[in-house]
Amino acid sequence: MYPRTSPQDRATTDLIHRLRDQVISLARGGSYIGVYIGGLTATNADFAQVLTSKLPLFVALVVIPSALRLRFVSITVRGGGCSNL
């Protein structure tokens, strides 16, 4: 199955989620068959979802400490820190 919309279109992402959440679960019924949606578009949608969920952690562990280090360096370079000793 190929979507009519472009890979980056919101309708394509909605189609992937609708297939996974509704269509496949109805088609499987009560069986234990494993059905997967794959391809580049589905992989990119999954990757974007993972990145979005990890963004607060990235900000907390990378951006905030980097800003604090830059602030400390700017204070020391201006002469307000340990360089006066």
* Residue 3 in domain: no
Asked whether residue 24 is domain-assigned, the answer is yes
CA distance 71 to 68: 5
Count the Cβ atoms, other than its own, within 10 Å of residue 41. Answer: 20
Whether 68 maps to a domain, the answer reads yes
Write down the pLDDT at residue 1: 76
- Is there a domain that residue 85 lies in? no
Residue 2's alpha-carbon distances to 38, 46, 52, 70, in angstroms, are: 11, 17, 25, 48
For 53-75, how does the pLDDT look when each residue is reduced to its tens digit (9 = 90+)? 999 999 999 999 999 999 888 87
Is 56 inside any structural domain?
Answer: yes
Gyration radius (Cα) of the chain, Å: 24
Does 2 fall in a domain? Answer: no
> What residues make up the domain containing 43?
10-80
The number of domains in the chain is: 1
The dihedral built from the CA positions of residue 25, 26, 28 and 31, taken in this order, carries a sign that is positive
What pLDDT sits at residue 54?
94
